[in-house]
Amino acid sequence: MIKLIATDIDGTLLKYDFTCPAGLTDCLKKLEEEGIKVVPVTGRMHRAAIKIYNLLNLNAPLVSYQGGQINTPDGKIIYQKTLDKDCVQKAIKWARENNIHLQVYYNDTLYAEHDNAFIQRYSREQNVPYKIINFDELNPQYSSKLLAVDFNNPERVTGWVEELKTLFPECFIVKSTPYFCEISHLQANKCDAVKFLQQYYGLKDEEVLTIGDQNNDIALLQAGGVRVAMGNATPELKEIATYITDTVDNGGWIKAVEKFVKN
pLDDT tens digit sequence for 35-93: 999 999 999 999 999 999 999 999 999 999 999 999 999 999 999 999 999 999 999 99
What's the pLDDT score for residue 208? 98
Instruction: Give me the domains of the chain, ranges plus CATH numbers.
Output: 4-81+188-262 (3.40.50.1000), 83-185 (3.30.1240.10)
Summary mean pLDDT of the chain: 95
Q: Work out the average pLDDT over 187-201.
A: 96
What's the pLDDT score for residue 49? 95
Predicted confidence (pLDDT) at residue 263 exceeds the cutoff of 80: no
Question: How long is the chain?
Answer: 263
Long-range CB contact pairs, 35-39, < 8 A, 24+: 35/3, 36/2, 36/3, 36/4, 36/5, 36/261, 37/3, 37/4, 37/5, 37/61, 37/201, 38/5, 38/7, 39/4, 39/5, 39/6, 39/7, 39/63, 39/194, 39/197
Q: Work out the average pLDDT over 143-149.
A: 97
Which alpha helices (H) appear in 178-259, and where do they start and end?
190-201, 218-222, 235-240, 252-257
Measured CA to CA, the distance from residue 248 to residue 254 in angstroms comes to 9
Query: pTM, whole model, 2 decimals?
Result: 0.89
Predicted confidence (pLDDT) at residue 176 exceeds the cutoff of 90: no
pLDDT tens digit sequence for 217-234: 999 999 999 999 999 999
How does DSSP classify residue 252?
Answer: H
Determine how many CB atoms are found less than 10 A away from the CB of residue 19.
9
pLDDT tens digit sequence for 106-128: 999 999 999 999 999 999 988 89
- The 3-class secondary structure across 52-99, one letter per residue, is HHHHCCCCCCEEEHHHCEEECCCCCEEEECCEEHHHHHHHHHHHHHCC
- Percent of the chain predicted with pLDDT > 90: 95
Predicted confidence (pLDDT) at residue 17 exceeds the cutoff of 90: no
